[in-house]
Structure 1
């Protein structure tokens, strides 16, 4: 499929750690990537927007209000052999709900092949009794996919589920292969979940992203689940041998869980549907993967000199202040020693100044340490002049210098710590405000970018005045048959439902003849219904109400509404199926309004036809003149081409219009039409009939002695 020139907007959420920064940048070359998760990314890219939020948070819902996503990629916690994320079901359910609410075109769920690791148990009659899973993880992964299946059945959203094997990326330490490489590097045991002889498969990240883009860009596909394998066949024993080549002393253990996965030899379904061809054989490049992982992830990209300097800098951050404490202490003591006899320094306490400096610069702890050092010096000086410890302790006057030193260190240190804490709090508050500003700024720019698109959506929304005005214009027609076709198309468009049928009721209100219906129901609905079989529905519709099948009675439409001519129902509009979101009062009111528009247009067309009867029909007959007949036939041809109606055209050669009109009196249904062409040939247009069920009508014509021919067109 040719790629669109415009960038697709893609939301990646869930376990976003599966995608590395390099993978996202590769995706962003031709797409706009929105990341919503807990993975940390550094740097900026014009086509990558990162939001630290989970689907269960309110901030996540705002993203759907700002951006118009072409597709959403949800990565389950079970992908790549994971054990699931916290609140997995709630996160996926919220993602599905937001996709449905915002009418996202496609949701791609990245799951795991382990969800297919089960054993079916059947009964005597071949019925499925239960499905056994070897572990709680495989069971939980399968239940997560059942949630996707439920939304897929209840909505029209395209949900594509991919059963992934292990995903290989050279610089990802969060995936299965990265964990294996790290264990090897750290001399830990490597544990594999299955047996040595069981199959193992790796899909390269580059192949996976290419597949995801192909699925996103495909517009003619439908929901489904597929194995996204590499097509290469290897066992865990082969992987063990490859790992021993890169690290001969690796210790490998097997948990020996049963492997009942029905692995396909090649992802043929994905190839035929999306043109997916996996290119890289990861197993052949395990050695290259390991070396890249160690150099890029474990050791980092820095050289030996920069790593040593960095290690020295980190270690020096804590030691430097203690070195400065001792060094300044020695300087202060030297100054005090050489200035002790100076008259100018009698009023200057260098030791107190030292304590104030250390407390002011480094806080309370260093201020107290400085005070303790100077207190020790003071004790030594008291000892040198012959003062004993007992005298020093019991003479309270001797405590004053010690108290001043400790108070100076504590007070200055406390002030320093308080200012530091206030500054730290301000920085945190600033960072929080900055994050909020960045988010709001992105929201603003996203809203500006989508302003034009939102305007189109508002003007084209299903129940906007623009849509209603368009419906009125389309229904403004003098031909009842055209109103049937346009009314059906208008309802399908606005109601977003393709199970609609319109019936015409006979004068006795016993039968409803199918006039037109959605193409999906053409072969499923009977050509007529007996109203006595729908007594409850008919009684409510006859009272001027909209029938709603709240009890979900089988073989009954979900909605029905009548089109009245006075007190008599002339048309019955039915919606046979409805999705969960179409059960509300709002939807029923729109249906009532549209039926009212059809009623107004239909009655106007019938009134026009009765007023122009002499111009449209031959006198004393019900045979339409050529111009009128061709108009009616043209509408039926349009209906047949649209797949919403069938018809059979019968020609009666050599008959007079009065003769045919009299012979067919009582045989022709109200929905059928007799007409004449310019050459004088009489035709009978039988609507909602095909050649397979023409036999009954043919027998009636034979009994009347009429000669007739089945033709494809007039003339």
Structure 2
């Protein structure tokens, strides 16, 4: 699945993505602290405001499911731009009928007291429902308690921690008895997994109720435990907002309820916040932090300090010859105008004008003489002109630098996006090439399967069938049964090495009535109800409309209980059926050449061939057998054949050597069952003894030649 997480994404963590979407390609689009991890199919990028570029991203990734994190999930957060961003996302989903969309919003609609936010949230929900009806897409609306995070700067909890670290006091806007509604991201990840895992096409509004009954007094008390010197205060007059009663739909439908309280996680979150922000910093770092936090005050102090310094220099050095040609007041104006911009340039001009007026008064000239004599205006005009010009140049250069930085960042983003698309295109090209050449369901693979199954010996076909099924379906628990509908039994021909001994040698077809109707109709039966003593899958091979073989899969993983796997198994069973029927037709055509005339005794060369195949199957741990030498001195060969036909199974084989010695091969028989078989044959007049198992097929039948 390809998943898009968009909107108020600052709460998303790597752990949330891994738990909520363990098998998905995930893109997080928005403000977030997580980083891209291509190995884990995790991609991160800022939200794209350009609709054409956003459309290109949707077209490239072809998302199948989307979660929109509303701004209303942040307690006391900003809500601007929500409607426009949500509209853009819904607009791009209009042509995708199978798209899964979840709009995750805050709890305002669950309050029993209407507020301004309640009306705004209602409009957002109506927008989702209208788009769903208009474009036939499925949107589920989830009203969640507020989220919290110590690392998301816009979050309420992060703001609380900052105020504690800076001022050792905190003032809540709520009354101490007011209830608070917060939910852990870990609980949310579990809920998202269950919702998408049990997705249906019904439009729903799901309400996540508060399950902990905490108030802000509890939060303040917990913070005081973490910081003993903290001073906590509350607003005296706040509207009590209580959540409506729990409808318990989520609990019953998805088996989920919140388990983690914010108060339980608070100590760990505060510790992480301190580690991340390096609270135990040095004096120099503290000074830098104070300066960066109070820039305006620091600049005002610099202005005052430098003004005093220049006044002292002007008083000390003003009468010296080398400073007669230098106007220190003009230098002060140029300095602050060039450094801090036009506002400080004008302020410096004002300060130095007052300083010049004071200097004239010290020399005995009154201020009205300065005012009425135009020639005295020249230095004042220069101060203001220089301050304004230097400030303007500074401001213009700053704007140019900022513009170039923004343009550079935009170009860099486009370059990174283009490079990412290029890399993914190359990866997709290589992936599709491998799939075309080696995919288990490609035309090339199907041709290879057909070639492997093109054998005329049924026993050899059993070996190739097991190999092909194990390779293509990536399962090692296959079993093949040949059926005799007259006696209602199936005989095990071969099974995967991994499950040798787990399949019974014989099965009674009446015990599999739950599957037989489906198999008779030519379909694959899947054990979706997990019936006891049934394999997970069964497929039939039919001849002239009648079942002659069963292909079973004893065990299957969760991924293999899918429609794709079932269809692939059905296709392969059809290929096996075609090859088996061809082999049986060939065997029937040459049957007269294989058997001694008037009997079911295989001639020497055909029995040796069958024995060699069976021996290969045992070497590969696909089957077992026992080879017996039959003594029939007191009866004819035909009489011995009649006894064997009545006393052994239809898939057992017997043949004769060139020296007229009779051999019996008991297929899928072990040493535990052998004494009963020998006793039954002896009672019928046939004395049998087991041949050395280490001999090859040729040596066994030819040992007495």
Structure 2-normalised TM-score?
Answer: 0.50
- Residue 58 of structure 1 pairs with residue 38 of structure 2: no
In structure 2, what is the Cα distance between the partners aligned to 1:650 and 1:394?
Answer: 138
How many Å apart are 1:416 and its aligned residue? 2.8
- Residue 614 of structure 1 pairs with residue 592 of structure 2: yes
Q: Which runs of 5+ in 1 are unaligned?
A: 1-12, 16-37, 41-49, 66-85, 95-175, 187-317
Tell me the residue number matched to 1:524. 502
How many Å apart are 1:354 and its aligned residue? 7.4
Match 1:697 to one of 673, 677, 681: 677
Go from structure 1 to structure 2 and tell me whether the alpha carbon gap of 1:396 and 1:542 turns closer, same or farther (over 3 Å shift).
Answer: farther
In structure 1, what is the Cα distance between the partners aligned to 2:490 and 2:374?
Answer: 114
Tell me the residue number matched to 1:665. 645
How many Å apart are 1:427 and its aligned residue? 3.2
Match 2:529 to one of 525, 530, 551: 551
Match 1:588 to one of 562, 566, 581: 566
Go from structure 1 to structure 2 and tell me whether the alpha carbon gap of 1:52 and 1:513 turns closer, same or farther (over 3 Å shift).
Answer: closer
In structure 1, what is the Cα distance between the partners aligned to 2:41 and 2:428?
Answer: 25
Tell me the residue number matched to 2:108. none
Tell me the residue number matched to 1:535. 513
In structure 2, what is the Cα distance between the partners aligned to 1:584 and 1:640?
Answer: 33
In structure 1, what is the Cα distance between the partners aligned to 2:349 and 2:435?
Answer: 73
How many Å apart are 1:669 and its aligned residue? 2.2
Go from structure 1 to structure 2 and tell me whether the alpha carbon gap of 1:595 and 1:414 turns closer, same or farther (over 3 Å shift).
Answer: farther
In structure 2, what is the Cα distance between the partners aligned to 1:688 and 1:523?
Answer: 10
Which structure is larger by alpha-carbon Rg, 1 or 2?
Answer: 2
In structure 1, what is the Cα distance between the partners aligned to 2:467 and 2:367?
Answer: 106
Q: Which runs of 5+ in 2 are unaligned?
A: 1-12, 16-31, 46-56, 61-183, 193-271, 283-298
How many Å apart are 1:387 and its aligned residue? 6.1
Provide the aligned length of Structure 1 versus Structure 2. 434
Match 2:657 to one of 677, 697, 706: 677
Tell me the residue number matched to 1:645. 623
Match 2:460 to one of 465, 482, 489: 482
Go from structure 1 to structure 2 and tell me whether the alpha carbon gap of 1:527 and 1:419 turns closer, same or farther (over 3 Å shift).
Answer: farther
In structure 2, what is the Cα distance between the partners aligned to 1:528 and 1:395?
Answer: 126
Query: Would you say the 8 A contact 2:318–2:324 is kept in 1?
Result: no
Match 1:378 to one of 336, 356, 372: 356
- Residue 630 of structure 1 pairs with residue 608 of structure 2: yes
Go from structure 1 to structure 2 and tell me whether the alpha carbon gap of 1:359 and 1:604 turns closer, same or farther (over 3 Å shift).
Answer: same
Q: What is the CA deviation profile of residues 289-308 of structure 1, one whole-angstrom value per residue up to 9, with x for unaligned ones?
A: xxxxxxxxxxxxxxxxxxxx
How many Å apart are 1:422 and its aligned residue? 4.7
Q: What is the CA deviation profile of residues 97-142 of structure 1, one whole-angstrom value per residue up to 9, with x for unaligned ones?
A: xxxxxxxxxxxxxxxxxxxxxxxxxxxxxxxxxxxxxxxxxxxxxx
SS of equivalent to 2:349: helix
Query: Would you say the 8 A contact 1:509–1:531 is kept in 2?
Result: no
How many Å apart are 1:436 and its aligned residue? 7.2
In structure 1, what is the Cα distance between the partners aligned to 2:351 and 2:578?
Answer: 100
Q: What is the CA deviation profile of residues 362-411 of structure 1, one whole-angstrom value per residue up to 9, with x for unaligned ones?
A: 53465345424432343335535756579999999999986885576356
Please tell me the root mean square deviation across aligned C-alpha atoms, in Å: 5.4
Show the 5 A alignment for 1:117-516: 355=333, 359-360=337-338, 362-364=340-342, 367-368=345-346, 370-384=348-362, 405=383, 409=387, 412-413=390-391, 416-417=394-395, 419-424=397-402, 426-427=404-405, 430=408, 434=412, 437=415, 455-456=433-434, 458-508=436-486, 510-516=488-494
Tell me the residue number matched to 2:96. none
SS of equivalent to 2:645: coil
How many Å apart are 1:421 and its aligned residue? 4.7
Tell me the residue number matched to 1:203. none
Go from structure 1 to structure 2 and tell me whether the alpha carbon gap of 1:395 and 1:328 turns closer, same or farther (over 3 Å shift).
Answer: closer
SS of equivalent to 1:573: strand
**321-330 or 463-472, larger mean C-alpha shift:** 321-330
How many Å apart are 1:331 and its aligned residue? 11
Match 1:574 to one of 539, 552, 572: 552
How many Å apart are 1:413 and its aligned residue? 2.8
SS of equivalent to 2:519: helix
Tell me the residue number matched to 1:565. 543
In structure 2, what is the Cα distance between the partners aligned to 1:557 and 1:543?
Answer: 19
**533-542 or 597-606, larger mean C-alpha shift:** 533-542
Go from structure 1 to structure 2 and tell me whether the alpha carbon gap of 1:408 and 1:185 turns closer, same or farther (over 3 Å shift).
Answer: closer
In structure 1, what is the Cα distance between the partners aligned to 2:659 and 2:368?
Answer: 141
How many Å apart are 1:660 and its aligned residue? 2.4
Q: What is the CA deviation profile of residues 17-54 of structure 1, one whole-angstrom value per residue up to 9, with x for unaligned ones?
A: xxxxxxxxxxxxxxxxxxxxx999xxxxxxxxx96789
How many Å apart are 1:439 and its aligned residue? 8.4
Query: Would you say the 8 A contact 2:455–2:579 is kept in 1?
Result: yes
How many Å apart are 1:514 and its aligned residue? 1.3
SS of equivalent to 1:623: coil
Go from structure 1 to structure 2 and tell me whether the alpha carbon gap of 1:627 and 1:411 turns closer, same or farther (over 3 Å shift).
Answer: farther
How many Å apart are 1:459 and its aligned residue? 2.3
How many Å apart are 1:529 and its aligned residue? 1.4
Structure 1-normalised TM-score?
Answer: 0.50
Go from structure 1 to structure 2 and tell me whether the alpha carbon gap of 1:621 and 1:321 turns closer, same or farther (over 3 Å shift).
Answer: farther
Tell me the residue number matched to 1:23. none
Go from structure 1 to structure 2 and tell me whether the alpha carbon gap of 1:520 and 1:367 turns closer, same or farther (over 3 Å shift).
Answer: same
Go from structure 1 to structure 2 and tell me whether the alpha carbon gap of 1:449 and 1:598 turns closer, same or farther (over 3 Å shift).
Answer: closer
In structure 2, what is the Cα distance between the partners aligned to 1:373 and 1:52?
Answer: 57
Go from structure 1 to structure 2 and tell me whether the alpha carbon gap of 1:52 and 1:536 turns closer, same or farther (over 3 Å shift).
Answer: closer
